[in-house]
Amino acid sequence: MAQVKMPKLGESVTEGTMGRWLKQVGDAVGKYEALAEVVTDKVNAEIPSDYVGILAEILVGEGETVAVGVPIAIIREAGEEPGTAETPGTLGEAAGTRDAAHVTSPQGAPGAPSAVGAAGQAGAPGRPGVANGVVSETERNPNGGRFSPAVLRLAQERGLNLAHIKGTGLGGRITRKDVLASGLVQQGTASDDRGGASAYAVEAELVTGRHAPVESNPSSSMAAGAGTSPAERSGRSVAGADVTDAEGTRIPLTAVRKTIARRMLESKQTAPHAWMMVEVDATSLVRLRERQKAAFKAKEGIDLTFLPFFIKATVEALKEFPIVNSQWAGDHILQRREVNISIAVATPDALAVPVIHHADTKSIYGLASAIADLAQRARAGRLTLDDVQGGTFTVNNTGAFGSILSQPIINAPQAAILSVEAIVRRPMVQADDSIAIRSMVNVCMSLDHRILDGWVAGQFMKAIKRIVEGYNEQTPLY
């Protein structure tokens, strides 16, 4: 038997959330074939198999978050006989490792101890447990081997006795599906402190593929969602289905939404945000683009938008004030040598933040091409880890939605984030006191006040204003 572990998916990635298992227990697995999808705070990725064989057991359920290096599955390698017992201690080691590691269940909170570990330490009678991160002999599967950590935790959460559950896995091993299926029978006595019988039945339906009747309880705050198939519900969220009650619709958190929530909260709680805005006259830029966009589209096959011009201005301003291209590093400030611009790309499910690497070496055309490529692949779900790593400063094009003012949250650990608002034609008083219609745009910046003070931030924004207002018909695109 071979263990598949949560891989290290990037230099700063320390954990991953299981998004969806692409293989199920009993499926044949080829070398380098994708086993599951994993969601990190950087990008969604597939976990390939390093072995040829049969998927014998899944140790980490969909929606669970575990640290890098924690076993997530067991593969029976080619040549091993079905039902072959694992090397003594193999799964026990996996259980101990996983229990000691940072684990978050779909309904749990980051950093909270697993329910199995807590129950084992408390010595709850009649329930499986883990003491000090080690599965005891009483938690061994009577059909051979040990219970997996996922099975132990799920049984504890449901209040089920594994001795009364028949296993359908290899060699009679009890799987998560067996525990959930058994829970359907024992539903009247099983407890569920995460939403009552209805939430329990929904999860059982999604994991086992069997329909579980939902108990009608007027006093319960959870009720089954109507008019939605299990496939539609599972497609929206790993955690379960939308449920509707008198108060409204409760939408389970997807792994991506959990990651966004955690990262945004950490940024706001860690970095003291300051904010400023400058008003920029983009009239000459608008005229330049109007004259060039048709020929540019015909020649390059991509649209000439305003964003590459603002990114170019940002890059030039970063060269003048390199401290803005920095990050907080605990006991020092790291001023980055490379200028890599992160851009926000809206997708139907979430917000992706790919990176234009070496943006300071690119022309307007080079930036436009990079933006078009990253945006297309982000919306198609084809970004790689390299595409989302190494950003040093973020530019957000909120003006695309018609916004004229925004206060973005810093993309930690970067020092600042810039938002370019909508370009709006407005009457403006000129230097000679005349009034003229000009194309005006607000450029906003949130900054980490640990790194940047008002003076340098103001000078940086002033430089962006100067550069954008200096665009004219002679501005080179290549």
Q: Exposure pattern of 195-212 as b/e (b: 16+ CB <10 Å)? A: bbbbbbbbbbbbbbeeeb
Residue with the bigger pLDDT between 161 and 313: it is 313
> What are the pLDDT digits (tens) for 365-383?
999 999 999 999 988 878 8
What is the rounded average pLDDT of the residues 142-159? 65
In this structure, which amino acid lies at residue 151?
V
Element (H, E) at 393: strand 393-396
What's the Rg (C-alpha) of the chain? 27
Asked if residue 231 has pLDDT above 50, the reply is no
Q: Token pair 């000078």 is at which residue?
A: 459
Answer yes or no: is pLDDT of 72 > 80: yes
Domain 272-469 has CATH 3.30.559.10: yes
pTM of the model: 0.61
- Going by pLDDT thresholds of 50, 70 and 90, the confidence category of residue 62 is confident
pLDDT tens for each residue of 383-392: 888 898 899 9
State yes or no: is 360 an active-site residue. no
pLDDT bin (cut points 50, 70, 90) of residue 82 is low
Residues of the chain with CATH 3.30.559.10: 272-469
* Residue 50 a catalytic site member: no
Boundaries of CATH 2.40.50.100 in the chain?
2-210
- When pLDDT is cut at 50, 70 and 90, the band that residue 47 belongs to is confident
Count of residues making up the chain = 478
Quickly state the pLDDT bin for 212 (edges 50, 70, 90): very low
Q: Which of 102, 273, 358, 449 is catalytic?
A: 449
Share of the chain above pLDDT 90, in %: 47
Q: Domain 2-210, what architecture?
A: Beta Barrel (2.40)
**Tens-place pLDDT, residues 2-38:** 999 988 776 567 788 888 899 999 999 998 888 998 8
- pLDDT for res 41: 65
pLDDT at 441 over 50: yes
The model's pLDDT over 271-307, given as tens digits with 9 standing for 90+, comes to 999 999 999 999 999 999 999 999 999 999 999 999 9
> Coil, strand or helix: which one is 280?
strand
Instruction: Output the pLDDT for position 180.
Output: 73
- pLDDT in the model for residue 303: 95
* pLDDT at 192 > cutoff 50: no
3-state helix, strand, coil in the chain (%, to 5): 35, 20, 45
Q: What's residue 59's pLDDT?
A: 93
Confidence of residue 81 (pLDDT cuts 50, 70, 90): low
Residue 152's pLDDT is what? 75
Q: Report the percent of the chain where pLDDT is more than 70.
A: 69
Q: Render the burial of 274-304: b for 16+ CB within 10 Å, e for the rest.
A: beeebebbbbbbbebbeebeeebeeeeeeeb
Given a cut of 80, whether residue 399 has pLDDT beyond it is: yes
